[in-house]
Structure 1
Amino acid sequence: MNAVSVLRPEQGLDTAVSQPALRECVARAVRRYLIDLDTQQAEGLFDFVMHEVEAPMLHEVMSWYGGNQSKAAMALGINRATLRKKLAQHGLL
């Protein structure tokens, strides 16, 4: 059984509580992708997964912080300029 905490902006990330459910979701998605490939060789899987995960993560974090890039960047552990670059790359600006 996985416990999932609801993270609030004022809370720190409690990796012991919040990550198991996320890890499990990612593991299932990657496993499903590999099963769907069947006998084909997977190529560029790391970049593919990172690209697929990054856009929705950025969207959700920006929504959570009401579009405040400074707060979102702080929550993500990146600087605001990097956040803006990533938002632009994903068409989220």
Structure 2
Amino acid sequence: MSDISERKMFEMDDSLYKEKQGTLYKYVLEAIERPLIEHALERTFGNQLKAAKILGINRNTMRSKIKKLGIDPNKWKI
């Protein structure tokens, strides 16, 4: 997966580097954080603790990010 991500990063248009200068890290992090958390929640059927373990983050951090991003973990519960 890191090879794919690395290739995508280098495929970014030069204008994006100029446009997001000084905030590029935050921009990229925000762009991947939501889908990454949603994918982990989907794989764990909405179980926040298991999703946090998959991602290697604390459960409280996971809950904080879910709240901040407005994600509903119940969407994946069966």
Is TM-score (shorter-chain normalized) higher than 0.5?
yes
User: Secondary structure of the residue that 2:21 maps to in structure 1?
Assistant: coil
Counterparts of 2:46 and 2:20 in 1: how far apart (Å)? 40
Structure 2 SS opposite 1:67: coil
Does the 8 Å contact 2:20/2:27 carry over to 1? Answer: no
**Matching residue of 1:62:** 41
Q: Which has the higher contact order (CA 8 A, sep 6+)?
A: 2
How many residue pairs get aligned? The number is 72
**Residue in structure 2 matched with residue 13 of structure 1 by the alignment:** none
The Cα shift of 1:56 comes to: 1.0
Equivalent of 2:21, from 5, 17, 42? 42
Matched, 1:91 2:74: no
Deviation at 1:42, TM superposition (A): 2.1
TM-score (norm 2): 0.75
2:5 corresponds in structure 1 to: 22
Distance of aligned partners of 1:38 and 1:89 in 2 relative to their CA distance in 1, 3 Å threshold: closer
Provide the aligned C-alpha RMSD in A: 2.1
Structure 2 residue identity aligned to 1:24: R
Q: CA separation in 1, counterparts of 2:69 and 2:60? A: 14
Q: Conserved in 1, the CA contact under 8 Å of 2:17 and 2:24?
A: no
Between structure 1 and structure 2, the one with the greater Rg is 1
**Unmatched segments (≥5 aa) in structure 2:** 73-78
